[in-house]
Amino acid sequence: MLDASGLRYGVAGQPAVLDDVSLTLDAGEWLGLDGVSGAGKSTLGHLLAGHLTPQAGTVTVDGAPLPRRGLRPVQWLPQSPELAVNPRWRVKQILEEAWTPPDALRDAFGIEPAWMNRFPQALSGGELQRVCVLRALAPGVRYLVADEISSMLDPLTQLALWQGLRRVADERQLGVLVISHDAALLNRLCSRRLTLSDGRLRPPKRYGAPPATAPGQSPASR
């Protein structure tokens, strides 16, 4: 279980971005997180992944604190993949930094062998995003923080990405925290949802209701 308790994080002289935030994420669970821009969703993601050190509180995985070096059991997936890769590395080196994914997984994510010799600039955002997701699925990884990973993708690419991720997560019992503004997407993917506002986690209020459109009904006809 990924267990965060009493997390506090802020910048000196300003109200804390996060104040006494606690959450748990079970293996195999999909938890949705939303909140307005600047609410601290990404900060929380970075704290859970160990990129930032909380000013108060702890993050533990199965009771053990996050390791300070080596592959982290909680991996953060970025919104902008082009900022999360070394532009001077070829795709093969990027993808295989932590592990060598089997061919079956590459196919599941639609990653083509032809990309391996290219530099990341030569891939589209959606292609590079899939490389980044697969890169993060090394065997030691237990939890994922998906920070708006599909917001810049068209519906079909978005779907393919989530289907690939779902398959691996089910197989390995990965816990996934999905951060997104897209209420319909969170309702589709997650069994539980939380909203971050004013530095605290709450049950979702604004988008708590089931999707306003029933399946098959057009938002345009509302």
Partner 1 sequence: MLQIDDLSLQLPYYASWWRRQWAEVLAGVSLDVRPGEVHAVIGASGAGKSLLAHALMGLLPAPHRQAGHLTFKGQPLTAARQRQLRGRELALIPQSLSALDPLVRSQRQVRWAAQRAGHTAARAPHTANQALAHYQLDERAQQAFPHQLSGGMARRVLTAMAHVSSAQLVIADEPSVGLDPQQRDRVLNALAALAREGKAVLLISHDLRHALPIAQRVTIMRQGRCLETAPAAAFEGDGHALTTRYAQALWRALPDNHFTSPVTQPAPHVA
- Interface residue list for partner 1 (CB under 8 A): 30, 36-38, 79, 124-126, 148, 151-160, 162-163, 166, 170, 181-185, 187-191, 211, 213, 215-222
Distance CA 181, CA 34 (A): 6
Shortest gap between Cβ of 86 and partner 1 (angstroms)? 21
Can you say how many angstroms the Cα of residue 55 is from the centroid of all Cα atoms in its chain?
Answer: 22
Is the CB of 15 or the CB of 63 nearer to partner 1?
Answer: 15
State in angstroms the smallest separation of the CB of 102 from partner 1: 19
Task: State the sign of the Cα–Cα–Cα–Cα dihedral 104, 110, 113, 116.
Answer: negative
CB-nearer residue toward partner 1: 68 or 222: 222
Residue 22 dihedral angles phi and psi, to the nearest 5°: -130, 140
Q: Which two tokens stand for residue 46?
A: 């970075």
Cα separation, 147 vs 177, whole angstroms:
8
Q: How far is the C-alpha of 199 from the C-alpha of 20, rounded, in Å?
A: 8
Nearer to partner 1, 72 or 130 (CB): 130
Closer by beta carbon to partner 1, 22 or else 151: 151
Q: How far is the CB of 210 from partner 1 (least distance, A)?
A: 8
Q: What is the smallest separation between the CB atom of 139 and partner 1, expressed in angstroms?
A: 22
